[in-house]
Amino acid sequence: MQIYSNRGLFVGPVPIDPKASCREEKAFISHGHADHVAINKTTEYICTPETAAIIKNRYSLDAKFNATGFGKKIPLNGSTVSLHNSGHILGSAQVLVQGSKTVAVTSDFKMQDSLIQKGASPLQCDILVIESTFGMPCYQFPKRELVYEQIGSFVKEKAKQGFVVLAGYSLGKAQELTKVVNEYAGISPLVHDSVFENNQVYEKFGVKLGPYIKLDHNLDESSVLIMPPSLVNHNLRQVLEYSLHKKIFSGMATGWSFRNGFNETFPLSDHADFSQLMDYVKQADPRLVITMHGSEREFAS
């Protein structure tokens, strides 16, 4: 079975996360992050109901969706294709293609369970196409519960001294932070509009995040604000300090090791670390492994 990248990843005749210029009759979308979503009006896109809802909510794209649940087998171009939880964000899926050989495509994944997401289970396969963002031994993440406790302690302590801004990607990470701030700090956070919209989608599919407040000229309604990282900078901290007459403390949830002006960074990632990547390969027991994204060459070695 030929596997190649051409306007998307093709496993034989099955396109996964294609570019908008890919005009195949049907294609699969693994999840709703922007770098995996490029849509045209002619292709029928197969994904989970959660991913379809996220795409419609975030991008307002006019496209044809065929929403299907995990485990359902779909015949396509002589192969059978099914979606399986990838543990990355709401509705995110691994893609299993069964034809002359069985090929598993993890897309973005993690094997850790989180407060709001069940981790991925490895798929038995002949060929494994694995995301390798953190594919070097230096990337080892602590247990998620320990990070939750760190975030909760930071928020409770700094909220007594001033105002706390937490940065996390608006889809996936920010929903986890909403839950963490509620459960580990006992505070209902303010959330940026983009976070609020995604929180609503999560809750529509039964994910309980706890109470939160949409940011709307109401900074006095909480001592914690959750924002996308791209908006948290020196200018924002200055504006908040001037508006609230309080000291501003900031923290970022990320798998990458950098401070970038934040008081604290917390090693919370929606991707598998090196140990999880190795565990996945061992359990999947493929004859061939193809690495994609990030530390491709390092993890291949």
**Helices and strands, number each (H, E), in the chain:** 7, 18
Q: What is the mean pLDDT of residues 70-80?
A: 94
| 210-258: pLDDT as tens digits | 999 999 999 999 999 999 999 999 999 999 999 999 999 999 999 998 7
Hey, how many other C-beta atoms are within 10 angstroms of the C-beta on 89? 25
Q: Is the pLDDT of residue 259 over 80?
A: no
135, 139, 145, 151 alpha-carbon torsion, rounded to 10°: -120
CB neighbours of 260 closer than 8 A, spacing ≥ 6?
252
**Could you tell me the two tokens for 236?**
């924002």
Based on the fold, state whether residues 108 and 181 are members of the same structural domain.
no
Hey, how many other C-beta atoms are within 10 angstroms of the C-beta on 113? 13
Based on the fold, state whether residues 43 and 128 are members of the same structural domain.
yes
Band of pLDDT at residue 68, cut at 50, 70 and 90: very high
Element (H, E) at 279: helix 274-284
Can you give the pTM of this predicted structure? 0.95
Based on the fold, state whether residues 58 and 200 are members of the same structural domain.
no
Write the burial class of residue 184 (CB in 10 Å: 0-12 exposed, 13-18 middle, 19+ buried): buried
Based on the fold, state whether residues 75 and 152 are members of the same structural domain.
no
Based on the fold, state whether residues 152 and 193 are members of the same structural domain.
yes
Please report the pLDDT score of residue 274 as a whole number. Answer: 98
| Cβ-contact 252, 168 below 8 angstroms | yes
**Residue 289's domain is classified under what CATH number?**
3.60.15.10
Please report the pLDDT score of residue 77 as a whole number. Answer: 87
CB neighbours of 161 closer than 8 A, spacing ≥ 6?
247, 249
Q: Give the C-alpha separation, 26 to 191, whole Å.
A: 36
Based on the fold, state whether residues 129 and 8 are members of the same structural domain.
yes
Based on the fold, state whether residues 132 and 32 are members of the same structural domain.
yes
| Cβ-contact 86, 92 below 8 angstroms | yes
CB neighbours of 199 closer than 8 A, spacing ≥ 6?
174, 175, 178, 191, 209, 212
Based on the fold, state whether residues 251 and 275 are members of the same structural domain.
no
Domain that holds residue 48: 3-138+271-300
Share of the chain above pLDDT 90, in %: 92
Please report the pLDDT score of residue 59 as a whole number. Answer: 85
Share of the chain above pLDDT 70, in %: 100
- Rounded to 5 degrees, φ, ψ at 225 are -130, 130
The answer to which of 8-12, 51-55, 62-66, 110-114 has the lowest mean pLDDT is 62-66
Based on the fold, state whether residues 262 and 206 are members of the same structural domain.
yes
What average pLDDT does the structure give for the chain?
96
Q: What is the mean pLDDT of residues 58-67?
A: 86
Q: Give the C-alpha separation, 19 to 235, whole Å.
A: 36
Hey, how many other C-beta atoms are within 10 angstroms of the C-beta on 242? 10
Based on the fold, state whether residues 282 and 222 are members of the same structural domain.
no
Q: Is the pLDDT of residue 164 over 90?
A: yes
Q: Is the pLDDT of residue 138 over 90?
A: yes
Q: Which has more pLDDT, 187 or 77?
A: 187
Based on the fold, state whether residues 159 and 209 are members of the same structural domain.
yes
Domain count, the chain: 2
**Residue 216's domain is classified under what CATH number?**
3.40.50.12650
Based on the fold, state whether residues 261 and 277 are members of the same structural domain.
no
Cα angle, residue 165 at apex, residues 164 and 167 outer, rounded to 5°: 145
